[in-house]
Structures are given as structure tokens and as C-alpha cells.
């Protein structure tokens, strides 16, 4: 250890000489170990390390020359410096023998203490330096070992380059991450390294390494792709630390590369999920807004509005809860019905069910829950559940991925067609149209009957309902010479589409649609040639880009109506106006006016009011 005292061995068969040496060599950090014979000295030499040996020449049994020869013949003691001490006058031949046996000096007794201390000090200092060098060597070896272990065991790819940008270190971590062995990489110029693809930022990376080597001890991080030995391209974060060179040692750069491919994918997925969540929440809010707005339009009193609005929200909430339990994949038809029975919306003994269970896709499940709530509410108010004996039979079949359902009421009060269409009936009839469904009502005297055909799989082939003719606006609201503007609505959420269409018609314009898919929208653009258009940002996962491109090609002004942020809308149409969901009436009117002005089209008086 560095702080241990250095030992000097003194060998003399005369006890007084050893005592004199102990007194003469009283130096700090030096311990004098004495031996009275060559054999005792050999034993000590085998057990301890010595910086210097002071040997008497004349000793019985084994003299100093013989001891020196034995020391030089043993690996452990071969490097111990020897100074001979003798009281016998000597000639050149004896001196030559002494130096031949390995002595570094030859002193005659009586010994000059000053000279002896001076020579001992030199050898002690040399021993200290050797010890320090050995300690530093061990420390350096341990540090290199730790570095090697870190590079070999690290989850990062660890490599080292020298001042000429050649790879001089390639650890097991790099081999595992990139697939190249040390034999493949050591000595390869970084500019020719196969893991740096030319189009992945190689030039920028090489420039950065050159700047690090020129700037002394510095750190930097770069992000760029790398190519594995199997040819796959992956994303990496490259953490680089430079060590400045000296006159004897050139500079180098230690590089640790972290593979962030999976992290990038997770971040992309997270952004997508956040965008989808944002879109879904805003669509839900827009639906709630439409329920509130339409319910308030048709309600006879605040109490009626409150009851209807609360019931519709509860129906949506129950469907949402069921879809969340299945990670938004599907909802059981019978469970949706059972939820309404459980909260008392329907009487279990007066509801007759006939049909197999079926899984409804998310959007259809939400809309069916609202429809079912409206049917039950109307039955309680006016139909079979308004007395004590009426019943409802709900029967359905599933064929070719199409659900055919019939709601028929029996035993209630006599039924006659309503004089006024309420929001509930309108919601039932129109909420499923965007899914390619058909809903038909029959107000027979014995009881109301609703027939529904609903697709269970998006895109299923279902007969589309005949488009309803749109009545022209009254002559009083628009001059005969001013044809009403035709505005295309592309929206897959029925209640939101209903709200947009109502605002368009209230403004004295003609609504075209709603289109619930790009295919429908493109057909309506070709056949009807709308003057303006309002586009949902996403149609059940289908991008709106083709519709936006088709409208732009016709110079038809349009705006996006979306719950997404702009970054999720078509980038080629980033300059188009956007209406955020949920919206208010004033926002819709303002957007239609803005589009009409950009089209230089006549603006109906109702829209401008």
C-alpha cells in the first residue's frame, strides 16, 4: 500500500554493526530490518518486500557474495538493489566480483554516515516511485476493467474513436445492439462505418465528432438513425464525450448510443391516442350539445327538457361504460337492453325479447342506446307502458352481418299518427342513417311499430335510404333570382350532422348530405356540385384527404369541423378555416358567412341576420 513504510534489509554477523546501522538510518517512512546471517536474510526476503539490501561481505557459513548470487537467482528478490559493506581492504578483483553478483555500490567500514544516508535516500525514493507507479498501474487496470465491464454489460452500444476518427474501442454492448463484432469494427474509419447510413445524418455526425476533438473535454448528444447488421434501420441517441489530447496522448471520443426506436414508437402512439381521445371527447361534447339544443327546441317545459336531457345522457353514459369495459371494441346488445331494465326504464315482465345476442360496434352501440332510450320513453308517455297491461315485443335476427329488429307495442291506448314530430322521434329516425341503416315507423291503431335494419360491421352492404327532397326556402326569405347556396355536410356523428343541417337550413341554405364516408362525399360532390362544404376531420378512422382534394380541385370553399387539432388534419390544406367541436350556433353562422364571402356567392338574408 502507498502509506506503508519502506523496508531496508541489513545483514551482518556482528550485532554491534547492526545497532550502528539502526542509529545511522533513522529516516521517516523507512523501517530497518536486520538479519545476523545469510540464511536468516533469505527467510526474510521470502516473506517481505525490501527497497534495499545492505550486505556484509565477511560472514560465516554464507558470505555476502553468496547471498547476493542467491538473491539474483530468485524472481522475487532479483530486483532488490544491493550495497556491500566490508571492513576488509579489497582489491579491484573483489570489487569486480561484488558488482558481478549484482551490487550497485561497495562501501568500506568504517562507513561515512552522510554518504550512506545519501545513497539510501536515493534508493528509497526510487522505491517510492516504483511503488507509486505500480499503484497507478493497478488503479488504471482496475478502471479499464470497470470501463470494459460497463461497455460489455451496458444496455447501450459503447464504442471509442481516436483523433483520426477511427474506431479503437468496440464493446459487447455495441455488438449486441448493432450486431457487428469487434473484429469487424476495430480500425474502421468512422466515415466508412456500416452502421451509419448515408441518408441518416452521417455527415452531421462526423462533423460533430470533429468539433468535439477540436474543442477539448466536451460533451454532446445527437439523434439520428443507425443500421443494424441485419439491415434494419433504427433510431438512436448518441451521447459523446471527448478527451483532449496531450503531447504524448492523442485525443479521443467515447460514444454511448441508446436505441430509442421503441420509445419513438411509443411517443408516436401516445400522440395518436391523445389526438384520438381529444377527437372522441369533443365529438361526445358535440353530441351532448346537439341533444341539449334539439331537446330544448322541442320541449314543452323546462321540466320536460330536464327529464329528457338527463335520460339521454344516462343512456350514453351506460353505453360508454360498457364499451370501456371491452377496451372500446364492442358492446353486447342484450347487455345494453338489460341496463335499461336494471335502472327501471323498462319493466322486465312486460318486455318480451326474442333474438340472439349480438356484438354492436362502438358507434352503433352508442346510437342504439339513445334510440332504445327514446323508444322506452315514448312507450311510457304514450304507448304500451302508459297503462298497467300493455307489453312490448322486441324481436331481432342476424343474417349476413346485418341486424334486423322490430319494436312492436301491444295493449296500450289506441294509436294515431302524431300531429307534431318531436325530437325523440326525429332522433330515432335519423340517428342511424349515417351507418347505412333503415328505420321505419308505423302508427297502427293497435300499437306503434318500429322496424330497424342495422349493419353490425362498418362497410356492410345495406340498402341506403332514398334521399329526402329538400324544400326550397320561402320566397320571402330569398329573392327568386338568388338560388339558395347548397352546402355539403360530411359528418359521421348523426346528432352533430343534424345540428349542422338545421343551422344551414335555418340560414336559408340547402343542406346536402350528410355524407358519412369519403365514398359518399365524393359521389355527392360529383352529382350535386355543392357551393360550400363542412368536413369532419375523421370519418370513423377514414382520413378526409380525398374529399378535401376533390373540393380544392373544384375551387369549392370548405372548412373543417373537427375535434382534432390542426396537426391531425390534412397538411396540404392547413390554410383552410376550422370549426372546433363542440360549437355554438354563432360559430356555424360565422363560418358559413366566411365561406360564402370567399366564394363570392350571394348571401341569404337569413344567414346574414
Q: Where are the domains of the chain?
A: 6-136, 154-259, 310-455, 486-608
DSSP 12: -
Superfamily of domain 6-136: Response regulator (3.40.50.2300)
Q: Is the dihedral of CA 428, 344, 413, 454 positive or negative?
A: positive
By the 8 A CB rule, do 173 and 158 touch? Answer: yes
DSSP 166: B
The answer to which of 141-145, 186-190, 232-236, 393-397 has the lowest mean pLDDT is 141-145
The verdict on whether omega for the bond into residue 213 sits within 30 degrees of 0, i.e. cis, is no
Residue 535 has pLDDT above 80, yes or no: yes
Helix (H, G, I), strand (E, B) or coil at 440: strand
374 vs 89: which has the higher pLDDT: 374
- What is the H or E stretch that residue 380 is in? helix 362-381
409 vs 499: which has the higher pLDDT: 409
Question: How does pLDDT run across 151-198, given as a tens digit for each residue?
Answer: 676 778 899 999 889 999 998 889 999 999 999 999 999 989 999 988
Q: Give which of 424, 439, 569 is closest to 498, Cα–Cα.
A: 424
pLDDT for the residue numbered 314: 66
Q: Which three cell numbers mark 136?
A: 497507478
By the 8 A CB rule, do 585 and 487 touch? Answer: no
The whole-chain average pLDDT of the chain stands at 80
Residue 462 has pLDDT above 60, yes or no: no
pLDDT for the residue numbered 40: 93
Question: How does pLDDT run across 234-281, given as a tens digit for each residue?
Answer: 999 999 888 876 656 678 888 899 999 999 888 887 887 677 667 666
pLDDT for the residue numbered 490: 93
Q: In this prediction, what percent of the chain has a pLDDT beyond 70?
A: 77
Residue 477 has pLDDT above 50, yes or no: no
Residue 324 has pLDDT above 60, yes or no: no
By the 8 A CB rule, do 339 and 318 touch? Answer: yes
494 vs 318: which has the higher pLDDT: 494
By the 8 A CB rule, do 10 and 54 touch? Answer: yes
Fold of 486-608: Rossmann fold (3.40.50)
Q: Which residues are 439's β-sheet partners? A: 452
| Mean of pLDDT values over 40-59 | 90
**CATH architecture under which domain 310-455 falls:** 2-Layer Sandwich (3.30)
Q: Which three cell numbers mark 87?
A: 571492513
Tell me whether the CATH fold assigned to 6-136 matches the one assigned to 486-608.
Answer: yes
Rg (CA), the chain: 48
pLDDT for the residue numbered 474: 46
pLDDT for the residue numbered 408: 92
Q: Which three cell numbers mark 12?
A: 551482518
Q: Is the dihedral of CA 157, 162, 163, 166 positive or negative?
A: negative
Residue 206 has pLDDT above 80, yes or no: yes
φ/ψ of 142, rounded to 5, equals -65, -40
| Mean of pLDDT values over 378-399 | 86
Question: How does pLDDT run across 544-594, given as a tens digit for each residue?
Answer: 999 999 999 999 999 999 877 777 788 899 889 988 877 777 788 888 888
C-alpha span between 587 and 507 (Å, rounded)? 13
292 vs 153: which has the higher pLDDT: 292
Q: Enter the pTM of the model.
A: 0.41
- What is the H or E stretch that residue 226 is in? strand 219-227
Q: CATH for 154-259, among 1.10.287.3510, 3.30.450.20, 3.40.50.2000, 1.10.357.10?
A: 3.30.450.20
C-alpha span between 369 and 485 (Å, rounded)? 35
pLDDT for the residue numbered 436: 60
The residues, ordered by sequence, that sit 6+ positions from 384 with a Cβ below 8 Å of its Cβ are 350, 390, 391, 392, 409, 410, 411, 412, 447
Amino acid at each position: 500500500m502507498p502509506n506503508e513504510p519502506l523496508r531496508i534489509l541489513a545483514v551482518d554477523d556482528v550485532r554491534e554493526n547492526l545497532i550502528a546501522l539502526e542509529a545511522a538510518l533513522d529516516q521517516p517512512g523507512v523501517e530497518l530490518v536486520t538479519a545476523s546471517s545469510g540464511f536468516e536474510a533469505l527467510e526474510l526476503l521470502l516473506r517481505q518486500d525490501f527497497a534495499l539490501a545492505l550486505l556484509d561481505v565477511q560472514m560465516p557459513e554464507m558470505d555476502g557474495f553468496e547471498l547476493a548470487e542467491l538473491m539474483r537467482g530468485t524472481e522475487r528478490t532479483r530486483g532488490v538493489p544491493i550495497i556491500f559493506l566490508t571492513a576488509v581492504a579489497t582489491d579491484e578483483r573483489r570489487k569486480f566480483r561484488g558488482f558481478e553478483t549484482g551490487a550497485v555500490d561497495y562501501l568500506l567500514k568504517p562507513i561515512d554516515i552522510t554518504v550512506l544516508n545519501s545513497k539510501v535516500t536515493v534508493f528509497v525514493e526510487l522505491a517510492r516511485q516504483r511503488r507509486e507507479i505500480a499503484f497507478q498501474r493497478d488503479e488504471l487496470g482496475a478502471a479499464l476493467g470497470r470501463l470494459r465491464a460497463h461497455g460489455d454489460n451496458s444496455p447501450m452500444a459503447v464504442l471509442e474513436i481516436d483523433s483520426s476518427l477511427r474506431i479503437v474501442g468496440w464493446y459487447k454492448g455495441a455488438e449486441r445492439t448493432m450486431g457487428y463484432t469487434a473484429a469487424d469494427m476495430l480500425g474502421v474509419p468512422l466515415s466508412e462505418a456500416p452502421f451509419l447510413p448515408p441518408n441518416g445524418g452521417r455527415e452531421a455526425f462526423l462533423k460533430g465528432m470533429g468539433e468535439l476533438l477540436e474543442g477539448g473535454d466536451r460533451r454532446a448528444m445527437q439523434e439520428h438513425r443507425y443500421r443494424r447488421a441485419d439491415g434494419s434501420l433504427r433510431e438512436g441517441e448518441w451521447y459523446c464525450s471527448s478527451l483532449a489530447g496531450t503531447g504524448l496522448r492523442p485525443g479521443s471520443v467515447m460514444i454511448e448510443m441508446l436505441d430509442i426506436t421503441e420509445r419513438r414508437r411509443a411517443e408516436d402512439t401516445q400522440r395518436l391516442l391523445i389526438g384520438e381521445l381529444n377527437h372522441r371527447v369533443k365529438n361526445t361534447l358535440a353530441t351532448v350539445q346537439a341533444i341539449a339544443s334539439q331537446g330544448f327546441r322541442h320541449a314543452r317545459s323546462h321540466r320536460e327538457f330536464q327529464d329528457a336531457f338527463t335520460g339521454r345522457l344516462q343512456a350514453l353514459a351506460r353505453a360508454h361504460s360498457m364499451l370501456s369495459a371491452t377496451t372500446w371494441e364492442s358492446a353486447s346488445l342484450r347487455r345494453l337492453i338489460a341496463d335499461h331494465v336494471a335502472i327501471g326504464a323498462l319493466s322486465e315482465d312486460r318486455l318480451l325479447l326474442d333474438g340472439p345476442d349480438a356484438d354492436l360496434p362502438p358507434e352503433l352501440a352508442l346510437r342504439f342506446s339513445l334510440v332504445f332510450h327514446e323508444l322506452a320513453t315514448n312507450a311510457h308517455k304514450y304507448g304500451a307502458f302508459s297503462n298497467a297491461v300493455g307489453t312490448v315485443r322486441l324481436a331481432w335476427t342476424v343474417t349476413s352481418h346485418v341486424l334486423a329488429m322490430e319494436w312492436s307495442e301491444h295493449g296500450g291506448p289506441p294509436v294515431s299518427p302524431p300531429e307534431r314530430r318531436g325530437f325523440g322521434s326525429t332522433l330515432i329516425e335519423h340517428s342511424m342513417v349515417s351507418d347505412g341503416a333503415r328505420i321505419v315507423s308505423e302508427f297502427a291503431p293497435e300499437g306503434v311499430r318500429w322496424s330497424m335494419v342495422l349493419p353490425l360491421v362498418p362497410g356492410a352492404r345495406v340498402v341506403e335510404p332514398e334521399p329526402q327532397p329538400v324544400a326550397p326556402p320561402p320566397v320571402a326569405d330569398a329573392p327568386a333570382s338568388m338560388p339558395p347556396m347548397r352546402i355539403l355536410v360530411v359528418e359521421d356523428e348523426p346528432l352533430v350532422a343534424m345540428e349542422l343541417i338545421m343551422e344551414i337550413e335555418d340560414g336559408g341554405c340547402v343542406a346536402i348530405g350528410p355524407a358519412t364516408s369519403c365514398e359518399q362525399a365524393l359521389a355527392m360532390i360529383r352529382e350535386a356540385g355543392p357551393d360550400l362544404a363542412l368536413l369532419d376531420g375523421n370519418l370513423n378512422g377514414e382520413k378526409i384527404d380525398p374529399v378535401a382534394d376533390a373540393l380544392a380541385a373544384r375551387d369549392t370553399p370548405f372548412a373543417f369541423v373537427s375535434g382534432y387539432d390542426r396537426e391531425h388534419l390534412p397538411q396540404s390544406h392547413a390554410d383552410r378555416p376550422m370549426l372546433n367541436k363542440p360549437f355554438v350556433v354563432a360559430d356555424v353562422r360565422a363560418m358559413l358567412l366566411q365561406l360564402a364571402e370567399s366564394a363570392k356567392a350571394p348571401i341569404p338574408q337569413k344567414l346574414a341576420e
